[in-house]
Chains A and B, each alone.
Chain A
Amino acid sequence: NAGVTQTPKFRILKIGQSMTLQCAQDMNHNYMYWYRQDPGMGLKLIYYSVGAGITDKGEVPNGYNVSRSTTEDFPLRLELAAPSQTSVYFCASRTSGAPYEQYFGPGTRLTVT
């Protein structure tokens, strides 16, 4: 049981490049989330999904896109990378009902230069 996995662990992008951060979970969770965490700051929700084919914006969606074609996978797409997107990105998942425990992946550290 791998839980929530994320790839890559680290990535350096040049300004204007694009990339996809991968997230997968093997717990059959319906709900999945993408957060970013800047140094000394809390977690900011980028996008979330309550099931395959259903996604919605969080607090900071600009510059990102998501898709959810399967229950297991929830990739995050960065288009036209900017230095402001330098951050640590965490994917998380949980069940749709109680106890609502949410589990995080190990994170992707992204630097845009």
Chain B
Amino acid sequence: QKEVEQNSGPLSVPEGAIASLNCTYSDRGSQSFFWYRQYSGKSPELIMFIYSNGDKEDGRFTAQLNKASQYVSLLIRDSQPSDSATYLCAGLGGSNYKLTFGKGTLLTVNP
């Protein structure tokens, strides 16, 4: 069964620190990966996607992909209390039909 696993939380960091969220996947056919942020009681919101090995930066967010190690990560620099949410990692299967989601990591940024 194709799985996406995220590092167990919850994760707590002080304001201004770097938060590191990690994810591994089992489907070697997966080519595209997505990070969603979900505030409590709200729907998931897409914040980053990455297709190629290496880093992709967008503001305070950096996504990293290592296909050889089947590893995806999200770094949040200068973490803010407003970043406190559950972060979901998802991989798009080789058929490109559907995403497989991890269970999420709860991040708390303490002022």
Known: A43-B88, A104-B43. Is A31-B49 also a contact (CB below 8 A)?
no
Q: Which residues of B contact A98 (CB under 8 A)?
A: 32, 51
| Docked complex Cα distance between A40 and B102 (Å) | 12
Task: Count residues of A near B (Cβ-Cβ below 8 Å).
Answer: 21
Question: Which chain A positions have C-beta within 8 A of B46?
Answer: 101-103
Residue of B43, B51, B98 near A48 (CB, 8 A) is B98
Q: Is B34's CB within 8 Å of the partner chain A?
A: yes
- Which A13-60 residues have C-beta < 8 A from chain B? 31, 33, 40-43, 45, 48, 50, 58
A-B contact count (CB 8 A): 44
Interchain CB contact under 8 A, A50 and B97:
yes
Say yes or no: A101 contacts B103, CB within 8 Å: no
Q: Does B76 contact A (CB under 8 A)?
A: no
Interface contact B101-A58, CB-CB below 8 Å:
no
B92 at the interface (CB under 8 A from A): yes
In the bound complex, how far is the Cα of B104 from the Cα of A99, in angstroms?
22
Kindly state whether residue B96 has any CB partner on chain A within 8 Å: yes
Show the binding face of A for B, using Cβ within 8 Å. 31, 33, 40-43, 45, 48, 50, 58, 90, 98-107
User: Given known contacts A100-B32, A104-B45, what 20 new A-B pairs fall within 8 Å (CB)?
Assistant: A31-B97, A40-B103, A42-B88, A42-B104, A43-B88, A43-B101, A45-B98, A48-B97, A90-B43, A90-B44, A98-B32, A100-B49, A100-B96, A101-B34, A101-B46, A102-B34, A104-B44, A106-B42, A106-B43, A107-B42
